[in-house]
Amino acid sequence: MDAPLDFEFEDPLLNSPVIVKKSKKVIGLDDLLTDHYQEKSKVIERESKRAKAKKKYDSDEDDFDKEALLSKQINECHNQMQELSGEAEIATWGVHVFGNQKPPPVLTLPELGSCSLLRSFMSSELNSLVELTTEKVETFLEGLLVNGWLSKLVNTHSYIEKSIAKWTFYLMLYSSKEELRASACDFWCNILSPRDKTEKLPIRIEWFPSYCELRSALKTYGFLFNYLSQTESIITNSGVRGPPKNIRAWIKFVAACCCVRSKQPVFSASEAEELVEVAVFLSSDRQLEGLLVLLDEFVQSVISYFTDEEWNNSCEKIARSISCR
């Protein structure tokens, strides 16, 4: 009967853990001093870490400044090397085939106002609307040229008279107005462009420019046919250096002339030989670097002007002439 019953094992009061009582520790003066010095050492350690961090930050800033300075110096050296290499490249292959430009010739065409095209217009009823007078002739013709009506009239009549031919040729090679020289160039290229396989040009041209006029235009532009002997004078003399923007129209016109040889021979063999040399030297002038595609077509057009037999006879002569310059 002294043994505990079953439900007595489940009583939490009987199974509660034994509580061990801790004795209170007495804090003395030594303990306080120890804690004080420990806290002080922690403060010193934190200050030391902050100082090291600041020193590292300052060091990083110094490194950044040095890197920036070095990078700047490298960039300056790189730019200088590029400038030097660029100058060397120009000296290697770039030639100056144009010297100072000359004033363009003055065109005097009193017969322009009495050309048949204008006479027929002034006698028509349309003139009552326009009221065309002698003073307005050139302005009126410029409007027809720019708007393409002059080409249409020439194509309709299949004829271009001398005064109109000379006037448009002059505008093409010497006009300072882009609109006029481009329109005049298109006018001539349209006349010379082959429309079929007939033996003659479809339009009868009363006046056609000779090679002398084309060569004279190049001289006016400042082209140096013997440029090596005149290089020093190019650099020292003051003036407007060539070429003018009309050189584009000059190239297009000569190329168009070369394409119509089967219908109308324009140049002699010696003139064509000089044109090949001109084409080569124009391609070597860095001022015309933007016209390389046009110049490539120009070279091909001039070479194709020769027959096979003529080219065999002229090729070596052209090569010698180019090498001697």
User: pLDDT at position 89, please?
Assistant: 47
User: pLDDT at position 90, please?
Assistant: 44
- DSSP state letter for 63: H
- The rounded distance, in Å, linking the Cα atoms of 290 and 325 is 24
Report the Cα–Cα distance between both ends of the chain, in Å, rounded.
142
User: pLDDT at position 178, please?
Assistant: 95
Side chain identity at residue 130, one-letter code? V
Which pTM value belongs to this model? 0.68
Q: Torsion over CA of 143, 145, 149 and 154, rounded to 10 degrees? A: 140
Neighbours of 177 (CB within 10 A): 12
Regions of the chain with pLDDT less than 70: 1-37, 40, 49-94, 121-135, 194-199, 227-239, 325
Neighbours of 309 (CB within 10 A): 8
Q: Which residue has the tokens 């806290």?
A: 39
User: pLDDT at position 267, please?
Assistant: 94
Phi-psi region of 244 (alpha: psi -120 to 50; beta: other; left: phi over 0): beta
- The rounded distance, in Å, linking the Cα atoms of 169 and 152 is 17
Strands (E), the chain: 159-160, 204-205
pLDDT tens digits for 231-259? 444 444 556 777 889 999 999 999 999 98
- The rounded distance, in Å, linking the Cα atoms of 47 and 51 is 6
